[in-house]
Copies of this chain bind each other. A is one copy, B any other.
Amino acid sequence: MALYSELSCEQLRATYEEVKQQYDEFKARGLELNMARGKPSPAQLDMSMDIFDSVNALNGYKAEDGTDCRNYGNLTGLEECKTIFAQALGVQNSNIIVCGNSSLNIMFDYISQCMTHGAYEGATPWLLQGKIKFACPVPGYDRHFSICEHFGIEMVNVPMLETGPDMDVLEELVKDSSVKGMFCVPKYSNPQGYTFSDETVRRIAALKPAADDFRIIWDNAYFVHDIFENGDTLLNIFPEAEKNGKEDMIIEVASTSKISFPGAGIAVVSASENNVRMIKQRMNNQIIGHDKINQLRHARVLKDVNGLREYMKRHAAILRPKFDIVLRSLDRDLEGCGIATWTNPKGGYFVSLDVMEGCAKRVVELCRRAGVVLTNAGATYPYGLDPKDTNIRIAPSFPSLDELRDAMKLLCIAVKLAALEKLMDEE
């Protein structure tokens, strides 16, 4: 295909007419499809139906240590669940607390705890320190930004590279003692699907923030979520941090939201001895215990870390054709036009698409008008403000293959149409 930037005025107009007609044809079809969030598809959820019957009168309700999971007790979670996560994340069981159904809730509560009680025992609560800031790798996950915004934490953008956050920028930024932390998705990042390089992990583990209460929320949402063969490997940050005496700086979370059922899974936090102690102190006042029955269901179905990995291969088999469709569509329809770039992840839930500057909002709007709802343009940036209005997050997991083919065709048409509108406007 020809570079759009090299088209003559007439060629532009002719291409516009052609693409506009394609768009109108799609619009006339009256599609109705929501691709806004990274939701597993019904086929993925069907994989986990065994979970429902794993704990009942027939199969029993007792944990391996004999605990009646139907009654009160057990603050930090079942040992069999801890083992699965500890082995998958490369930590000890004592570093793991198994919580409720949401790693987002764990992260929110952790930030809330820092606001009211400080990041370590005896630290000044963040709320009493005046204006504080978080470094935000961008584009990133909107719900991380929402937590910062909720607590009035000012967000400072740090560009994401293919290797992770731009460490030169981050190392400079943390010299400001009002910068208290960072959320990140170190493996198959949301939305790019980038995995932090070993060097990035080592540089993060070696950060020397001016704030002694600096905390990194290591949201390992896609820790076992490979889609293609030879998936990425994330260096375990805890041993690296320990080398620098910085293990208290890292709060890792993970969940089964995209393993079993979103909203009916289990989530864990993995942290240093000091952090586990402080989180337990809070939890001891917050809850008698999380849902052990649901923990037991998961332990029984996943069995062990190998069982978990086998489980994820079945998810990959469902997701792979969808990612193939997305990537093949982008290649086929947009390659060579010079109006878009995109990522090529080996796992996770998203593909990140950068369109021509100033066009992302328009592309999302064009898709919406033709019946396909994408993640809001801007959502991948703090305050919903994509400074160049270029980034769109593609979430291929939920639609069927046919729906996805249509949606991607429409998306590519919309990317072209928005670019052509802009180029014609500039003439």
Give A contacts to B, CB under 8 Å: 37, 39-40, 42, 45, 48-49, 52-53, 55-57, 61, 68-74, 100-102, 104-105, 108-109, 112, 115-116, 125, 127-128, 143, 146-147, 149-151, 257, 261-264, 282, 284-294
Contacts and interface: CB of A to CB of B under 8 A. Distances in A.
A99 to B, nearest CB: 10
A150 B291 contact: no
A292 B39 CA distance: 15
Contacts of A264: 69-70, 291-294
Contacts of A108: 285-287
Contacts of A282: 150
A261 B293 contact: yes
Contacts of A285: 108, 143, 146-147, 149-150
B71 A39 contact: yes
Q: How many protomers of this protein does the assembly include?
A: 2
Contact of A263 (B49, B57, B71, B284): B71
A293 B45 CA distance: 13
A239 B53 CA distance: 43
Nearest to A107: B286
Top 8 closest A-B pairs, CB basis?
A52-B56, A264-B293, A150-B285, A108-B286, A72-B262, A45-B70, A70-B261, A146-B285
A102 B288 contact: yes
A116 B105 contact: no
A367 B311 CA distance: 51
Query: Most chain-B CB neighbours within 10 Å: which of A125, A285, A294?
Result: A285
A57 B56 CA distance: 14
17 contacts: A37-B72, A39-B72, A42-B71, A70-B262, A71-B263, A72-B263, A101-B290, A104-B286, A109-B286, A127-B127, A143-B285, A146-B285, A263-B288, A263-B292, A263-B293, A264-B292, A291-B291
A308 to B, nearest CB: 19
B70 A151 contact: no
Contacts of A69: 263-264
Contacts of A49: 56-57
Given A56-B52, A150-B282, A104 B262 contact: no
B261 A101 contact: no
Contacts of A74: 263
A119 to B, nearest CB: 15
A53 B297 CA distance: 13
A56 B50 CA distance: 8
A68 B45 contact: yes
A100 B288 CA distance: 12
Contacts of A42: 68, 71
A177 to B, nearest CB: 21
A67 B112 CA distance: 31
